[in-house]
Structure 1
């Protein structure tokens, strides 16, 4: 295939439409499943199970213990067995566990199910990132990852009203609304997992919707990408200094993401006591969704700019700094509109940085190293998934407010910005070498 711009972009666009949207649907179900507890908590679950803010935070965070334990082994298994089988297995397993939440009767049972849910989901996200990196040349990767990552903010935009609708079926199912929501979300994951097994191709050569010329161009492009020789050893990837620095950056971004995702619905519920207003289940869901629609738009435009200019440190550092400043301010103001405006800034900042960030590891990792390195970064980042909700809930219980917890969120996001800028300064690209290779850096 002639590698002219029109033909190349048409091929990448086809991959984006076919794969990114499909993987994005899987990610939508994944994130909806993971944050369902944030919808269930203030909508009856906390009351029915007698959860304090600290217990809710621990239940939200314990998910990540099981997730972290099996993250790297799961991604190496995906590299060995293929994305179609392994991602389908992950989805069906977590769907079954989520269905079991329908009948949880105690705090202890909730803790165990959240732990097993983390085990079931382990490897999905880094596996999806690895899968897409095997299909898309580096220069288009941030663009395609954005098409996939946009599912995460849209999970809140669409998922919040969907969760509210399920929770309003109390009279139809005979179950409490939050139990009905878990049942619906779990069954959805099982169905999409079965569809994945039959429809997802493992590699470009298996894609019936690509022409022979398009397959040939992709194979040649991926085999001859410009850049430094990439690490192929999983052990070397796990001891690589840049991998660990990127893990620190991701930790700060994820800390902000889950602090908002798990506690924004609860914070919004607190508006009622301050203002005297009463919000129904659907109204709470729609208010929760407000920050995420602009975030989806910013994500798309920011990633498009990164694709056009080439990924730079400021594509990650500037959003991280914006979030670091906005989130502590959000809990200092009393006006509801101002709070939501600042939360919108935080959501836009986090989702602008994340897809651009994930285009970096595959620049210097390949094969088993990419599987191990991406999983390691995601594992360290998801330590924040446990720490953020637990610390946030604990400090809320101790101090009676969200001022200190959100200040800590801001500190970790500022740390992400500092590290990504310092990493780039330390790894400034040298002049091109005689063999045409150069050092690719964030």
Structure 2
């Protein structure tokens, strides 16, 4: 007697469990390394700035130039990814950025620092939106916020684990003619190059090619995704038939500006939090451990928030509330004069920024598919990541003028307040 066919709920649960375990841990590892190589400059700066003659304004400018290169090459990179496949393109991205990151160990002054940060942005362009696009090719709509949250949890996890490691590396004595900040760059760049080659074996471009799924699992997943894409094309993507129309769509532009606020906050933390904490006379090692604490709390907060967003299928307030919380956290960080107050404020900021991101990307994937998704997601990410230039640069410029981080922290908080307002306006269109 034949076994009865599995009921749909059992099949769905089995498929989602298999693709989650197959895909999410690996892409999290990739983003962990990506984020570490973007923001380890915050720890390198502890001794690098003095050694190569970087002022606060020059450091802020150089730190932010990463995002100019990223902005200029993001959309072309993601469109190429859509054509050649995720596996090949992500491998290329990782090997390239690993090489450039390692070269950062040999900057000798402001100009070479600026050049390498700009080149690192070009090298990494396409990675983050490429993975977001990849997740939308594998995860049905009701699972996308939690899948995106799992992937993006790698950023705070990278800070939580990477900060103590970076702090320990910054305690190294000079060795083989290289300073501690140079060893930091070299050691933390190596995994990107190695993993770039692993990507070629580990990733599968699309569900139709997934030999590791059973035939009934593969058929269900392909049919489910095609059904959703058909619905999106007929009811939600009208007017997004060309790349240019996608780039000019009001929703894409609004989400870009919303994401800009969260990026300004995220990279202000990545590039400046270690230096802000050092003002309380913590050692490099202590700074590393303290900087890890807010990120641990952020991982828990963003996971809970994404699950709640998926369960309720509500996105707007799941973006607005954490943006407001992060805004208030930056105001708190700028106004407090105690080390404890700064640490608690950084906890609030980390949780708010991290929690907003997954529901925000779920909003984007609700009306983008196919080539429109490649262009739209890349546009949101590239324009939004200009906040990674604006936030760190303004912190450094204002600190150089006033000797205080207060004004810069208030300004970054204001960008998150604007993100909350824009999200509410977008929901009414």
Both proteins in one fold, TM over 0.5:
yes
Q: Which moved more, 1:63-72 or 1:10-19?
A: 10-19
TM-score using structure 1 length: 0.92
Change (3 A) 1:287 1:173: farther
Partner of residue 412, structure 2: 409
Q: For the aligned residues, what is the CA RMSD?
A: 1.4
Distance in 1 of aligned mates of 2:106 and 2:412: 34
Q: Deviations over 1:321-364 (max 9, x none)?
A: 11111211112111211221111011000000001111121211
Deviation at 1:165, TM superposition (A): 3.3
Query: Would you say the 8 A contact 2:54–2:109 is kept in 1?
Result: no
Aligned match for 2:280, one of 261, 271, 286: 271
Matched, 1:24 2:28: yes
Deviation at 1:309, TM superposition (A): 0.7
Q: Which moved more, 1:332-341 or 1:413-422?
A: 332-341
> Gaps (5+ residues) in structure 2?
none
Change (3 A) 1:406 1:3: farther
Matched, 1:245 2:249: no
Matched, 1:73 2:76: yes
Query: Would you say the 8 A contact 1:161–1:285 is kept in 2?
Result: yes
Query: Would you say the 8 A contact 1:59–1:114 is kept in 2?
Result: yes
Matched, 1:381 2:384: yes
Partner of residue 103, structure 2: 100
Matched, 1:162 2:165: yes
Distance in 2 of aligned mates of 1:160 and 1:343: 14
Partner of residue 223, structure 1: 226
Deviation at 1:205, TM superposition (A): 2.3
Taking the TM superposition and a 5 Å limit, the aligned residue runs for 1:14-413 are: 14-42=18-46, 44-170=47-173, 173-225=176-228, 226-227=231-232, 228-230=235-237, 231-272=240-281, 279-413=282-416
Deviation at 1:169, TM superposition (A): 4.1
Q: Deviations over 1:114-154 (max 9, x none)?
A: 11111111111111100111111111111111111110100
> Gaps (5+ residues) in structure 1?
273-278, 427-442
Distance in 2 of aligned mates of 1:164 and 1:229: 48
Deviation at 1:3, TM superposition (A): 5.8
Secondary structure of residue in 2 paired with 1:344: helix
Query: Would you say the 8 A contact 2:67–2:118 is kept in 1?
Result: yes
